[in-house]
Structure formats: structure tokens, C-alpha cells
Amino acid sequence: MDGRGRLLVVTAVDAERDALAAEAEERFDIAVVGVGPASAAAATARLLATASTPYRAVISAGIGGGFAGLVEVGGLALASSSIAADLGAEAPDRFLPLDELGFGTARYEADAGLVDLLGPALPEAVVGPVLTVSTTTGSAAGTAALRGRHPDAVAEGMEGFGVATAAAQAGVPFGELRSISNVVGPRDRAGWRIREALAVLADAGRVLGKLEA
């Protein structure tokens, strides 16, 4: 990641944008790109293509689920890569990812320079693969299947791979941040901590603002 241009941070929903904007002090651009990888990819691609000055990097930021024992509720995940965890084909005995089918890639690596910059600035963040899913995991069986395929994944979200796809095609460095509102597993809304996760996201926005100052 070079020092030219502004940083673009994209979120799925307004609440995430507002949390980041509270601390950003207009030091970077923030945009809502919608929920899910398709909407995120399309909107991010448009933002990158129509920018008057090329962006130095794009970060997909928002709340997400954390895998128990790796990153807990109230924690922060910094993606080393973004993986389209449910993009592929089912076979009788296992799931076949897009790469194995020969139709492209289901993984984008986060920009190493961006990870090296954000890691020390966010020392509480757990660095590891972040899964992108079109349907959030809500059962023990689904969680076990994901962990079996991606044992080193630290978190789950719905937009990262879409943003990464747009960034890769535009030649722009990509990163992903997820503040953790819930444990990936059986759906339990009573256990969600969205307000706390948004506060963690706001803290991350403060750090990003300092990096851009």
C-alpha cells in the first residue's frame, strides 16, 4: 500500500458507517455498499471506478461473528485473507470450493502492507482468515462444517470477499476488519452484543483516522 490517495472504508449498513464516522473526522471516505458479497462487490467497484482520485486502499469494515476460542465477542478480527466459504459445489462426500472446480478463486489475500500497518496499530486484533458467507451460520452442524474446511478462520462476515473482488479487479489494496458481535454457532439473538461491537468498530475508526492524519 502506497501513500497516495485517500483510504476508502466500506460497510454493509448505516449503523456501521455511523460508528466509524463518529471517529473518522473526515480523514477517510466511508460508504455503505449493502449486505452480502454481490451488493458489496458491485457498489465497491462503482466507487473505485468513479473516484476522481484513485484510492490508496479499500477496507471492508463491520461487525461479524467470531469463532469461539479464536476471537471472542467484543474482540476485533483483522483479515489475513478473505474467503468465499460457500462459493462452490456440494458433492456427496464434501464441499468443492471454486478453486478446485477450476472456475477462479474463492480466496483473496489481504494486502500485506496494510496488514503490517494495521496490526501494530490495533494490537488487540486477531489476525487470520475471515470467511464471507451469503447465509450466516446458525447451527452447530454448519459451524462444524465451516471449521472443518477452514480450521484457521477467525471470523465470519458477509461482504469481505465481494469488496476484495472489486479491489483486485481495480488493482487497489484490500483489507478487512470485523468487530465481533456474536459467536459463530447456533443462532442466539439474546447473546448478540451489537452495541458493544459497534463501539469496538468506532475505536478502530479512531485508529484509522490517526493513520490517515
Strand, coil or helix: what is 113? helix
All domains of the chain, ordered by start, with CATH? 7-212 (3.40.50.1580)
Nearest 5°: CA angle at 85, between 12 and 83? Answer: 70
Distance CA 87, CA 154 (A): 18
Strands 57-66 and 7-11: parallel
Distance separating alpha carbons of residues 199 and 202, to the nearest angstrom: 5
Residues counted in the chain: 213
pLDDT per residue, tens digit, the chain (213 aa), is 555 678 999 999 999 999 998 766 577 899 999 999 999 999 999 999 999 999 999 999 999 999 999 999 999 999 999 999 999 999 998 999 888 999 999 999 999 999 999 999 999 999 999 999 999 998 998 899 999 999 999 999 999 999 999 999 999 999 999 999 999 988 888 888 999 999 999 999 988 887 765
Angstrom distance (rounded) from CA 157 to CA 60: 10
Cα pseudo-dihedral 182, 184, 185, 190, rounded to 10: 10
Strands 88-90 and 76-84: what pairing? unpaired
Give the three-class secondary structure for 168: helix
Q: Give pLDDT, residue 185.
A: 87
Q: What is the model's pTM? A: 0.93
Q: How many helices (H) and strands (E) does the chain have?
A: 7, 10
